[in-house]
Amino acid sequence: MEYHVIDAFTDKLFRGNPAGVCLLNGQLDDAIMQSIAAENNLSETAFLLKHDNGHYGLRWFTPTLEVDLCGHATLASAFVLFDEKEKSSTELTFDTASGELTVTKEGDWICLDFPARPATECPAYPSIEEALDVEPLAVYKSRDLLVFIKDEYTLCGIKPNFALFRQVKIDAGLDSDMHGIIVTAPGIECDFASRFFAPLAGVPEDPVTGSAHCTLIPFWSNRLGKKVMDARQLSSRGGILRCEDCGDRVKISGKAVRYLKGTIEL
């Protein structure tokens, strides 16, 4: 099986978010895909299978479970296809658990057309403040929890207590370990900045999280009164995203660079 590791939402090696991309020749058992993702131990491994209609089936696995949406591994998958298999194309369509996703290529930038996931305000449960050791200005919920804090300096200094995240899940009434906690603040050199933590899904801190921006974009668009915004994710690797609020959809753009190409032997 052809296998790639792509650093997404960056144009520099060892930055952004590394994703595994597996190009399938046929159907593969779910348990084997989960085992491959665990063996790779990246935040997500994507599995691609071309359909007769020209679309690609796309699934995403963390080291511990399958997720319903992943931005950086979709960008990484599109990068591999544009570079290797679909060189004459500027648009790809993926069939996924989150519906049909379209990805376009615009120079060095790859643009993801994703569903918006607006959040609604919810109580600032004490367990959230304890888990993050930071005082929220407000807390919102969609698939993930979004914690709004005062500034980028505070955001950079967060050192979560991951042992408390199970209690956050219980308090917030979240029904799946698939969720994470987005922490966001106004940006210094961008419109907004964020970090993303999902220890219950096997990802303590995700370097750059495209799917979190399905919630961040409508939140900040409404707050700033802007449709087009620049964003940064402030993990140790860091990532840069161009964002656009399109109502019930969002556009998330980034660059990517290949780290590895090889073969998985099963």
Give me 208's structure tokens: 């750059």
Q: Rounded CA gap, 107 and 95, in Å?
A: 24
What residues contact 149, with CB distance under 8 A and at least 6 apart? 134, 135, 136, 137, 155, 183, 184, 185
Chain centroid to Cα 24, Å, comes to 22
Q: Rounded CA gap, 102 and 89, in Å?
A: 12
Q: Rounded CA gap, 222 and 20, in Å?
A: 34
Give me 228's structure tokens: 């087009």
Give me 142's structure tokens: 């969609």
**160 φ, ψ to 5°?**
-65, 150
What residues contact 139, with CB distance under 8 A and at least 6 apart? 121, 122, 123, 124, 125, 128, 145, 146, 147, 148
121 classed as catalytic: no
Q: Rounded CA gap, 165 and 125, in Å?
A: 12
Identify the CA nearest to 65 among candidates 143, 163, 177. Answer: 177
Active-site entry in 44, 66, 152, 205: 44
**60 φ, ψ to 5°?**
-130, 135
Three-class SS state of 66: strand
Q: Rounded CA gap, 144 and 211, in Å?
A: 10
Active site amino acids: 44
